Structure 1
Amino acid sequence: MGDTSDKVAVVTGGSRGIGRAVSLLLAERGYRVCLSYVANETAAAEVLAAIEARGGRGVAVQCDVAEEKDVVALFEAANRLGRLAALVNNAGIVDVTCRVDAMSAQRLQRMMATNVIGSLLCTREAVRRMSTRHGGRGGAIVNLSSIAAKLGGAGQYVDYAASKGAIDSFTIGLAREVADEGIRVNAVSPGVIDTEIHASGGNPDRARALAPDIPMKRAGRPEEIAAPIAWLLSEEASYMTGTIIDAAGGR
Structure 2
Amino acid sequence: MGLSAAELRLQVEEQMERGRASKRAREVARIILERGACTTTDLEELGYKHPPRAVKDLKDAGIEIRTITESYVDPSTGNTKRRAKYSVVGVDASKESRRQFSKAVSDAVKASGKCEVCGALPPLQVDHRVPFDIGGETFPHVLDELMPLCPSCNRSKSWACEHCENWTLKDTDMCRACMWASPHQYDHVAGRQQREIRITLTDPRDVLRFDCLRPDATNIVIEYLRENE
Taking structure 2 as the reference length, the TM-score comes to 0.24
Higher relative contact order (CA 8 A, sep 6+): 1
Give the number of the structure whose residues are more often helix, by fraction: 1
Report which of the two structures shows the higher radius of gyration computed on alpha carbons.
Answer: 2
